[in-house]
Amino acid sequence: MSLKKKFFLFLDLLMITGLIFFDQYTKRWAVIWLKDKPAYNLINGILELNYLENQGAAFGMLPNQKVFFIFVAIVILSVVGYVLLKMPDHKKYTILHFLFSLIVAGSIGNMIDRVRYDYVVDFIYLVRPNFPIFNVADIYATVSALILLILLLFVYKEKDLDFISFKQKRYRELK
């Protein structure tokens, strides 16, 4: 593994750690200042802080499925870890490092809550358009996954992503 590759992975790890810390800090803040209190209006009729203990996934789907969610998070982390290790250390992949680090941080941030509390602390509420209550880790994972999807559909070509192929190269191709 090249020194440049190790540096990229170190930066990924550093960013993931910082993002997880910030997510956990905001959730701790929500527990201290919002739990058992009425919603706090930030922008009247648009944005408020409202404490919720979410035992499901997005929109409260699949409540009380802790083992399933932890399993899904481990699968996501494994796939992303594989991709990060295989990703070339070329400049055009820098944004992918950033997006995958956000996905990892979001997955780990919510997994920490599920393991510690059996629920995820949510506290950000968009009154209009009546969006489900969410947290910082959800923002990391959702926004980065959306940007990643756009990049994969419209920017990166199939040949740019050959490094994640699970196919074995034929002997002739190796020459």
Catalytic residue numbers?
122, 138
Residue among 156, 11, 149 at smallest CA distance from 93: 156
Q: Largest Cα–Cα distance of the chain, in whole Å?
A: 68
Question: What is the Rg, in whole angstroms, of the alpha carbon atoms belonging to the chain?
Answer: 19
- Tokens (6 digits) for 137: 């880790």
128 Cβ contact partners less than 8 Å away, ≥ 6 residues apart: 45, 46
130: left (phi over 0), alpha (psi -120 to 50) or beta: left
Report the C-alpha dihedral over residues 175, 166, 3, 5, rounded to 10 degrees.
130
CA distance 122 to 124: 6
